[in-house]
Amino acid sequence: MTSAAGTDADNDRRNVSDAVGVVVLGACAVWPLLSGAGRDGRPEGVLLAVLAVAAGYAAGRMSGSLWPVAAPCLAGLAGLVLAVTMPAVATGSRFTSPLGHAGAVAALLVLAAGGVCCAAWATPVPALRAGLWTVAAGIVVTGAAMGSAAGCAAGAAVLLCSLAAGRMRRRDAGLVGLALATALVTGTVWALAANALPAGLTTALTGPLTERRVQLWRDALHLARTNSVLGLGPGRFGEVSGATSGAAPPDGRPHSALLQQAAEQGLVGVLLLVAAFCWILYALWRSARSTPVVLTAGAALTALAAVVVVGNALSFTTVSAGAGLLAGVATSRPWAAGLPRS
């Protein structure tokens, strides 16, 4: 049983993580306004994404406190429904195009699998847990049936990581591993955009990513280098980039949240994006939920980060809100539980 002193210390640390989150999200909202000031920047999209994350996080904290099992389960099922019914899925060319909505579908499938797996670890009923594992496996199969290879692979990775999380007793090692995995994906994308990888590896990665996407990344990195402090201004990549005038339908984005931040908001924007992810990992580390729930949510958010770094998923409000919701549920403190952290 947790002592009163231990509970007070845990609450103090959770308050610190909440305060850090307020500062980071506040900075993410203020910097686009400064970056775009006087240069026809359009920060509305960034502000909407920040608001969606904050609203989703608050909703997750409240719903996770009241319904620690039902909240992530319903959130996961809602993500699955959104992925299946997304309008772009019905239009084959937009869904299958590497510059289409495939990233958003993959992101929603990842969040759906993560939510259901969190619910499986949150329930004390063995039969219900087994049923939720089956639902999570069904989400992975659904991704394959929809033709979303990224969603299927990422969802399967989340499911496997969640099953493995039950054998881990220390969450810090798991979270460090997830942070290193994210750093590896991020560094690879940056190196590919900088043409700093060996020729064979560059060719192998360019194939599935498509030459068009890599061309956009390289143009974004070039613009970031020439506007390293303030960036171009939010929403201005499509106006300045020469790569958006190609044969593929342009949407004014480089299809990488990392490189879009670098090009439009400069080095400060990149640091804020990294700080937001590090804050989520820190909040998970300090969470009162069990280690399997925390690591499952961390695995889902890491898989989402990989999708975001190589795609355009954060441009969809449902994805931003879903990420905040999952993080909020995993950092909530169930009222009826008084559960000690393990």
pTM above 0.85, yes or no: yes
Q: Where does the pLDDT of residue 12 fall: very low under 50, low under 70, confident under 90, or very high at 90 and above? A: low
State pLDDT tens for residues 193-217: 998 989 889 999 988 888 888 999 9
CB-count exposure of residue 338 (10 Å: 0-12, 13-18, 19+)? exposed
Backbone dihedral angles phi then psi of residue 191, each to the nearest 5 degrees: -65, -35
Question: Is the dihedral angle over the CA atoms 87, 90, 91, 93 positive or is it negative?
Answer: positive
Least confident of 1-10, 23-32, 55-64, 303-312: 1-10
Average pLDDT of every residue of the chain: 85
- Residue 20 has which token pair? 């850090």
8 Å CB contact between 36 and 308? no
CA distance 283 to 227: 33
Q: What is the mean pLDDT of residues 133-149?
A: 92
Q: Where does the pLDDT of residue 142 fall: very low under 50, low under 70, confident under 90, or very high at 90 and above? A: very high
